[in-house]
Chains A and B, each alone.
Chain A
Amino acid sequence: ETGVTQTPRHLVMGMTNKKSLKCEQHLGHNAMYWYKQSAKKPLELMFVYNFKEQTENNSVPSRFSPECPNSSHLFLHLHTLQPEDSALYLCASSQTSGGANEQFFGPGTRLTVL
């Protein structure tokens, strides 16, 4: 498998549920990212990990908890979410060694919070 994969592709959960989103990259990159994409709003950066270390937390509520066990895997643990958290959650990866270092995105998880 190549590129950036995400599971599940669709998720419906209640406000009291706990669920996790998974992202895996097969590109040998050292940085991984979580973004939130809501309708009519820009892609919002949530978290950045570089060589497994969190380097950015963009004031994300604690009901979103990221985990990066290694440079190829990234998780987003969800608990007690709100309906306004319904969105497309995108994972991306990149190198950070200089040059373009463009980010490669996964297909996303469409999350609906009831």
Chain B
Amino acid sequence: GQNIDQPTEMTATEGAIVQINCTYQTSGFNGLFWYQQHAGEAPTFLSYNVLDGLEEKGRFSSFLSRSKGYSYLLLKELQMKDSASYLCAVRDTGTASKLTFGTGTRLQVTL
């Protein structure tokens, strides 16, 4: 099975940098995903890591260490619209793309 932990809530200031951590314990691993979910809306894909290291995509970056079972999502130059929940999900090995999600981190960006 999979166990995924991430902080429940975080607050940061507009223009700042915030790092959202995710740790996981898994029986199988075939990639880690980050999704953004605004209140009342569908989750949208942000990033994917399957090898160790940093993946950068504009203001968002994601890091993975498979040996430590650890990932983080880094958001730079925060904007008010970044206020949302950020979901960490691990994909199991196997034929289907089975994801196990953490409970999500609700980020509040303030002025």
Q: Could you tell me which A residues sit within 8 Å of B by CB distance?
A: 4, 31, 40-45, 48, 50, 55-56, 90, 94, 96, 100-108
Q: Which chain A residues lie closer than 8 Å to B48 at the CB level?
A: 100, 102
With both beta carbons as reference points, the residue of chain B lying nearest to A3 in the complex is identified as B42
| Binding site secondary structure of chain B | loop
B42 touches A50 (CB 8 A): no
Q: Could you tell me which B residues sit within 8 Å of A by CB distance?
A: 4, 31, 33, 41-45, 48, 50, 87, 89, 95-104
Least distance between A5 CB and chain B CB atoms (Å): 11
With both beta carbons as reference points, the residue of chain B lying nearest to A49 in the complex is identified as B96
A43 touches B43 (CB 8 A): yes
B42 touches A107 (CB 8 A): yes
Q: Which chain A residues lie closer than 8 Å to B96 at the CB level?
A: 31, 48, 50, 55-56, 96
A106 touches B102 (CB 8 A): no
A40 touches B103 (CB 8 A): yes
Q: Which chain A residues lie closer than 8 Å to B4 at the CB level?
A: 42
Docked Cα-Cα span, A79 to B48, in Å, equals 37
Docked Cα-Cα span, A102 to B96, in Å, equals 12
Docked Cα-Cα span, A43 to B31, in Å, equals 17
Least distance between A40 CB and chain B CB atoms (Å): 7
Selected contact of A42 from candidates B41, B97, B103, CB within 8 Å:
B103
A105 touches B44 (CB 8 A): yes
Given A100-B48, A102-B45: A45 touches B95 (CB 8 Å cut-off): no
Docked Cα-Cα span, A105 to B36, in Å, equals 11
Given A42-B103, A42-B104, A100-B48: A105 touches B97 (CB 8 Å cut-off): no
Ordered by A's residue number, 16 sampled pairs between the chains whose C-beta atoms are within 8 Å are A31-B96, A40-B103, A42-B87, A42-B102, A42-B104, A43-B89, A44-B101, A48-B96, A48-B97, A55-B95, A94-B97, A100-B31, A103-B97, A103-B99, A105-B42, A108-B42
Least distance between B52 CB and chain A CB atoms (Å): 16
Docked Cα-Cα span, A4 to B104, in Å, equals 22
Least distance between A12 CB and chain B CB atoms (Å): 17
Q: Which chain B residues lie closer than 8 Å to A108 at the CB level?
A: 42
